[in-house]
Structure 1
């Protein structure tokens, strides 16, 4: 099944959460990557029919999602926020989801869903006693209980220990390979790389980039980088670097150099060779803008 968004926006008063997003999510695993507050949850909730777009359309195989309860035969949602009654056991929670979906054999469906997420041993414990990772898994079980063709997961790996995370990653990959349409959100590129075949990047509510992880990595790596450098002769090193086309600008200060590298790969190849050729000892080379927010800021400015 295919989810299509066409010029979708969502605002709350004067606050724009999602701004003119157009994208298509097809079978396989797609990662929705973006920093916290980018609008990922809002976008997922519109895809699941829980929120109406303020503008634009969201469709599932050509059918409008908003106010269309029939989509829930084919859609499962795992929200980031806890929405589980703590007094229920894991079994009661998943069984109630199976009954709400009108499954012909809800007991069998609930048992299968709990087994898929490796929660059989804890099924009779109250949800309020679960760890964050266990709560995540029981929410996944409830979303899978009716075997949906589309699964939407909002930051599904939050709070999971390494074993739980690897298990869920394997499960998501298997479901994607079987032909299901899987979309999961994350703010961690490495997490998305390990699972998703395709990545959509959302920044400040806007669609900033799209491609497989190699393309997204290339966009992030090939952007201008700012380096802080200290050496045995900063002035001589600055003069030698500025003549090369991979360097956009060099600032000489009391604490060393700040160098803007326009071509990341060439600059990292060039710097040690220039230093060696001029008899300069490099004492410190560190990126000044490697935090994820700066990477996303570059991508959104690029798409503006």
Structure 2
């Protein structure tokens, strides 16, 4: 479950849970024995193409039955249970709006389907949240891809759900639209909502998600903060960029101390390969002090989400 979600005492925690979920099509296994818990905050769902991300989201959204295992929202099964949609907002990757309707008509229809007491006010609020007021009276068929994505987001928000499933929500958006939607997602997470989104753009996930779930070849490959996941990968050495007052002297001291596997002197500083992250970060200041060298910068150079993802996929 993601950490750092805004949860005040007495608030209800919304949780999506998958327990040993599998889905197969004939002899093809799309998802194999996946268990995970999605709680308040922003969770990024990652995986290479064909890994099973959309299949998982379809099962969490109640569009697809698990072949085995269970998917629940706050302990209640999702499959064949329309009542869960009172608590769930969905933005599917595929287009799901009627092109002959205006944006306002579409969102108003969604509000009425949810039987909201004031559908007009709810529709106006949702359209305002995604900044589509200026185009609300235009037919959806005339919208750009990014505009269609935002009106789909409004349809997911019209009933103010505590949980959101967003499948590639940034597709087709320009940079300004992406920033606006990122800010909206952060605000909703800060309110304590449970948000799961998939994206093939790792930068988006790194900027938004405090927690990631990684699917590789239909199996659950990793879960948690990507920096912690990287530090648990003891089979791969950790790379650091180290800058100091005397890189040559520090390199000789590191080699003599044996606290790193290799040290390379570059024009940007020392490129150090260490086997044990914690041991190296503990020893380096002591080695520098004993050598009489001042440290200016110590930064992991392979602790980005991109490097963690590439390591997991290559395993």
- Segments ≥4 residues shifted beyond 4 Å: 216-222, 261-266, 294-297
Residues in 1 aligned to 2:218 and 2:41: alpha-carbon distance in whole angstroms:
24
Shift of 1:86: 1.0
Shift of 1:300: 5.1
Equivalent residue in structure 2 for 1:102, among 111, 115, 118 = 115
Number of residues of Structure 1 aligned to a counterpart in Structure 2: 251
SS at match of 2:109: helix
Unaligned runs of 5+ in 2: 1-13, 239-258, 263-272, 281-303
- 2:243 matched residue in structure 1: none
Instruction: Tell me, yes or no, if structure 1 residue 120 matches structure 2 residue 120.
Output: no
Mapping of residues 203-242 of structure 1, within 5 Å: 203-216=216-229, 218=231, 223=236
- 1:51 matched residue in structure 2: 64
Equivalent residue in structure 1 for 2:142, among 104, 129, 133 = 129
Mapping of residues 183-202 of structure 1, within 5 Å: 183-202=196-215
- 2:21 matched residue in structure 1: 8
Residues in 2 aligned to 1:218 and 1:87: alpha-carbon distance in whole angstroms:
52
8 Å Cα contact 2:31-2:219 kept in structure 1: yes
Equivalent residue in structure 1 for 2:181, among 168, 190, 196 = 168
Deviation sequence 1:269-298 (CA, Å, 0-9, x none)? xxxxxxxxxxxxxxxxxxxxx9x6x96564
- 1:72 matched residue in structure 2: 85
Residues in 2 aligned to 1:73 and 1:126: alpha-carbon distance in whole angstroms:
27
Unaligned runs of 5+ in 1: 226-243, 248-260, 267-289
Give the 3 Å change call, closer, same or farther, for CA 199–221 of structure 1 in structure 2: farther
TM-score (norm 2): 0.72
Equivalent residue in structure 2 for 1:33, among 46, 54, 61 = 46
Shift of 1:187: 2.0
The farther-off stretch of 211-220 and 175-184 is 211-220
Give the 3 Å change call, closer, same or farther, for CA 40–131 of structure 1 in structure 2: same
8 Å Cα contact 1:10-1:19 kept in structure 2: yes
- How big is the alpha-carbon RMSD for the aligned residues of Structure 1 and Structure 2? 2.9
- 1:85 matched residue in structure 2: 98
Equivalent residue in structure 2 for 1:139, among 129, 149, 152 = 152
- 2:9 matched residue in structure 1: none
- 1:274 matched residue in structure 2: none
Deviation sequence 1:128-175 (CA, Å, 0-9, x none)? 111111110000000100000111000111111111001100111111
